[in-house]
Amino acid sequence: MLGEDAMDDTGPIHTPRDIPAKRLDVPSTVSPQLQRSISMLAAAPRIPMNEAPRTAEAWRAFIAGADAQTLALRPVLAQMFPHTETKGEIAGVTVREIVPAGYDAARAGGRLLVHFHGGGYVMNGGEASTGEAVLGAHYSGLKVISVDYRMPPDHPFPAGVDDAVAVWTALLKDNDPAKMGAFGTSAGGGMTLAMTLKLKALGRPLPGALGLGTPWVDLTGASDSYQVNAEVDGIFSRFDAFAQAMAKLYAGDAPVSDPLVSPVYGDFAGFPPSILTTGTRDILLSDTVRTHRALRAAGVTSQLEAYEAMSHAEYIFAFDGPESAVAFGEMAAFFDKHLAR
């Protein structure tokens, strides 16, 4: 219990706590596949998160290197999760249609998923954008339209949100919105929410359900787990100079607190049912929890799924493990329950 000397009638007290350094063991409470992923992340070289690219050219070089790592997984994904991928355009925006092997149009009944890739709003464009879409298609049995939205350094906000809204609006011409779900992880989860906020403001039909994987929804850096899980998260290790630079690069001339940049500050009233996914080592655990609580406070059906020892979006990268199958299976079941038939 706090003593009287810890109370202050003038307002809250902001006293930081020093945490001693410690070593994190690989937990025995997760699958061997996730244990292997955690070990590999611990051994992998760290991106220098305290120093960000300073020029557009330097950003392009960094993005190309990051995307190359993602592209290296494409052959493995194709072998484990057979599918066809067709590149095209909708409303002038590049998209890729993912159709899982064994797709049954009659069973799908006109239901469709729209995907927005992650990557800090700056990475994973082009062919690197579809890994999560492949997994979503496989576990749901539905076609997925993956939107290759424009990104910095050439196209900062609101270009990406405009692309998302344009694709969704065009799809409404031939599809029932109640049968269409939207999903994405990290920046893709944030983009899913930003698109829905914009659609709501425009008075256009909203998705029938949302899948929000560890969504990056507060680019101001205010969330508690940015501190608590710093260096605990094996993928998104810190919210410091590098992440702040990505946030500012994406926001462009807009404040990072703009609800279409940081959707957690938006009004979720009237939103569709949503499922959110995170892990106990996730640096965006708080972003996910805050979004869940805000949705619930707005009267929206929201289901929160948290996984033991999982870092940011690790269910996408450790796709050979049971945790990944459960995470995508939960999302697929959620869409199956909430999308119209």
Residue 290, pLDDT score: 98
Residue 5, pLDDT score: 47
Rounded to whole angstroms, the Cα distance separating 95 from 133 reads: 11
Distances (CA, A) of 189 to 75, 197, 231, 277: 25, 12, 22, 10
Tens digit of each residue's pLDDT (9 = 90 or more) over 166-197: 999 999 999 999 999 999 999 999 999 999 99
Our separate counts of H helices and E strands in the chain read 12, 8
Sequence-ordered list of residues with C-beta below 8 angstroms from that of 88, at least 6 positions apart, any chain: 94, 95, 96, 97
Where along the chain do its domains lie?
Answer: 54-338
Count other Cβ atoms within 10 Å, centred on residue 47.
15
The domain 54-338 belongs to what CATH superfamily?
Answer: Alpha/Beta hydrolase fold, catalytic domain (3.40.50.1820)
Residue 13, pLDDT score: 76
DSSP 8-state code for residue 272: P
Token code pair at residue 309: 């020892």
> Prior bond to 158 cis, omega within 30?
yes
Residue 12, pLDDT score: 72
Helix (H) or strand (E) holding 196: helix 187-202
Q: Is 155 left (phi over 0), alpha (psi -120 to 50) or beta?
A: beta
Segment 310-325 shows an average pLDDT of: 96
Collapsed DSSP state (helix, strand, coil) of residue 245: helix
Rounded to whole angstroms, the Cα distance separating 154 from 169 reads: 24
Residue 240, pLDDT score: 84
Weakest-pLDDT range from 48-52, 66-70, 113-117? 48-52
Indicate whether 223 pLDDT > 60: yes
Rounded to whole angstroms, the Cα distance separating 234 from 149 reads: 27
Helix (H) or strand (E) holding 108: helix 105-108
Q: Kindly report the CA angle at 222 between 201 and 150, in degrees rounded to 5?
A: 50
Give the pLDDT band (50/70/90) at residue 1. Answer: very low
Instruction: Give the percent of the chain with pLDDT over 90.
Output: 87
Q: Which amino acid is at 115?
A: H
Residue 47, pLDDT score: 63
Looking at the DSSP bridge assignments, the partners of residue 264 are none
Segment 321-337 shows an average pLDDT of: 98
Residue 4, pLDDT score: 47
State the average pLDDT for the chain. 94
Indicate whether 163 pLDDT > 90: yes
Indicate whether 45 pLDDT > 80: no
> Prior bond to 153 cis, omega within 30?
yes
Weakest-pLDDT range from 8-22, 124-138, 281-295, 296-310? 8-22
Nearest to 117 by CA among 263, 261, 216: 216
Give the pLDDT band (50/70/90) at residue 3. Answer: very low
Segment 62-83 shows an average pLDDT of: 93
Query: What long-range pairs does 253-259 form, CB within 8 A, spacing at least 24?
Result: 253/156, 254/157, 254/158, 256/219, 256/220, 257/219, 257/220, 258/157, 259/194, 259/197
Residue 48, pLDDT score: 60
Tens digit of each residue's pLDDT (9 = 90 or more) over 233-250: 999 998 888 899 999 999
Nearest to 217 by CA among 250, 259, 278, 270: 259
Instruction: Give the percent of the chain with pLDDT over 70.
Output: 95
Collapsed DSSP state (helix, strand, coil) of residue 96: strand
pTM (predicted TM-score): 0.94
Give the pLDDT band (50/70/90) at residue 210. Answer: very high
Distance between alpha carbon 89 and the CA centroid of its chain, in Å?
A: 23
Segment 47-54 shows an average pLDDT of: 72
Rounded to whole angstroms, the Cα distance separating 314 from 281 reads: 10
Residue 10, pLDDT score: 66
